Amino acid sequence: MEPGEPREPQEPREPGPGAETAAAPLWEEAKTFYDNLAPKKKPKSPKPQNAVTIAVSSRALFRMDEEQRIYTEQGVEEYVRYQLEHENEPFSPGPAFPFVKALEAVNRRLRELYPDSEDVFDIVLMTNNHAQVGVRLINSINHYDLFIERFCMTGGNSPICYLKAYHTNLYLSADAEKVREAIDEGIAAATIFSPSRDVAVSQSQLRVAFDGDAVLFSDESERIVKAHGLDRFFEHEKAHENKPLAQGPLKGFLEALGRLQKKFYSKGLRLECPIRTYLVTARSAASSGARALKTLRSWGLETDEALFLAGAPKGPLLEKIRPHIFFDDQMFHVAGAQEMGTVAAHVPYGVAQTPRRTAPVKQAPSAQ
């Protein structure tokens, strides 16, 4: 054919053998690529009255030490300006972060087994931050792919009055005064502390450890120890072994965990349950352990493990358990847990607490 000479029209050729099968993987590959670009569909938020609601403050969920310093030293206007300038920089994870991730892992399992049920964990970000700081919080939550749809930002006012409206089962904060307010309102609450070193925790099983007296139970027994000593306490516990202790501030949270555990048990998954609970108490098993266990039984509750330490330090045992959170009413045990790498939370309830300050220390809008 000479250059420039028009080509003769050609008949379309039939696809050769294997052409369709060769194209299929290419199409599937392209489909997967574009599916990954599309926004992932998130589950529907449950109605608060149907869920186990965990309210977490911004400074419990994220590390905000630098922001707190700016607020304390330079005031609220500079604090807000700094947050706006850095709103595209995600916060680093705070002490409650692994706990929240574990809650979401449990939710995924529950939704696989019970697609239409709203009896799951619902996480609410509860903060007295100003609304304009919310963009950085939202960006941080999206950065870590957390499912937190409910926010409460109160612009400098205390958020405690909203906890009941959100049907809160547990409130975690870095602000001890806010936690005390919540406890006074009858809401399970604790001040959360970062561990002194990072320890890997389970990615597939939520582990929660509780002290007994003044946490799950009332402080009745601690009052007797304080007033009359250990010998009288042992006598009292023996005499009242079959009388259940009154409930403490976190009894309701253990009850909620137990309810969700039973949903896995009913599917034959007791041994593979993604929730595990622990009683870690300074009580002695022989002299005062029976009353604690019988009290739980009378409530229709149980813990997966019960560890009676007879006054021994709790930190080394918690290091073996590696819970996502440990609740105790005494700062001595909280500090011991921190030293061993455990995220510990102080429950300010009962006779062991120090008197309240008359004037609270100045806190940043995020310092909860």
Q: Which residues are catalytic?
A: 211
Q: Is 280 helix (H, G, I), strand (E, B) or coil?
A: strand
Other CB atoms closer than 10 Å to residue 261's CB: what's the count? 21
Using CA atoms, how far apart are residues 279 and 307, in angstroms rounded to an integer?
6
Using CA atoms, how far apart are residues 349 and 178, in angstroms rounded to an integer?
13
Using CA atoms, how far apart are residues 162 and 166, in angstroms rounded to an integer?
6
Q: Is 308 helix (H, G, I), strand (E, B) or coil?
A: strand
Tokens 């959100």 locate to: 166
Annotate 138-178 with DSSP letters as a single string. Answer: HHHHHHTT----EEEE-TTS-SGGGTTTTTEEEEEES-HHH
Using CA atoms, how far apart are residues 152 and 150, in angstroms rounded to an integer?
7
Which H or E run contains 256? helix 251-265
Which H or E run contains 109? helix 97-113
Angle at alpha carbon of residue 368, lines to 106 and 340, rounded to 5°: 60
Which H or E run contains 207? strand 206-210
Other CB atoms closer than 10 Å to residue 354's CB: what's the count? 7
User: In this structure, are residues 171 and 182 in contact, taking their beta carbons and an 8 Å threshold?
Assistant: yes
Query: What is each CA distance from 134 to 79, 80, 129, 236, 294, in whole angstroms?
Result: 13, 11, 8, 52, 46
Other CB atoms closer than 10 Å to residue 94's CB: what's the count? 23
User: In this structure, are residues 76 and 367 in contact, taking their beta carbons and an 8 Å threshold?
Assistant: no
Tokens 């290419």 locate to: 26
